Structure formats: C-alpha cells, structure tokens
Amino acid sequence: MTVQNLAIGLIAVAIGLAISVFPLVGLYLAFQSSVVFGVVLALVYVIAFCVLLKKRQKNRTSSNF
C-alpha cells in the first residue's frame, strides 16, 4: 500500500464523514454564511471528482497495485 493509496483512502473516509454529517453542518452553516459554505462545498466536490477521475485513469492503465 503506497502513500498515494493511503492518502486517497483518507480522503475517501473524510468525504464519507462529511456526507454523513452534511445535513447538520449544512443547516448550521446555512444561517452563518451560506455563500462561503457553498463555495467551499463546490471546491470540495471538484477536488473529490478530480481525485476519483485520476484514480479511475490510474486503475485503467495499471491493474496491479
């Protein structure tokens, strides 16, 4: 298990936790600063999409870990 795979795993766990607590945090932050929260959430989703896309391309090129 390489460092990159470990980092991807940690990011996936962090995204999973963020999605699980998203309703509560979203309700809280919507009253605080909805614009900033929306921008941060969009950035998080874009970064997660790029990571998944790179992981998919890497798995397509080399099947072994």
The tokens describing 16, both together, are 């999973």
With contact defined as beta carbons under 8 Å apart, do 5 and 65 qualify? yes
Say what the pLDDT of residue 30 is. Answer: 67
User: What is the span of the domain harbouring residue 46?
Assistant: 3-61
pTM greater than the 0.75 cutoff: no
Distances (CA, A) of 20 to 14, 17, 24, 53, 65: 10, 5, 9, 22, 29
CA angle in degrees (0–180, nearest 5) for 24-35-27: 15
The HSE-up count of residue 44 (CA atoms within 13 Å, CB side) is 15
Q: Report the number of distinct structural domains present in the chain.
A: 1
What pLDDT digit, counting tens, does each position of 7-54 carry?
888 888 887 777 777 777 666 766 666 667 677 777 888 888 888 888
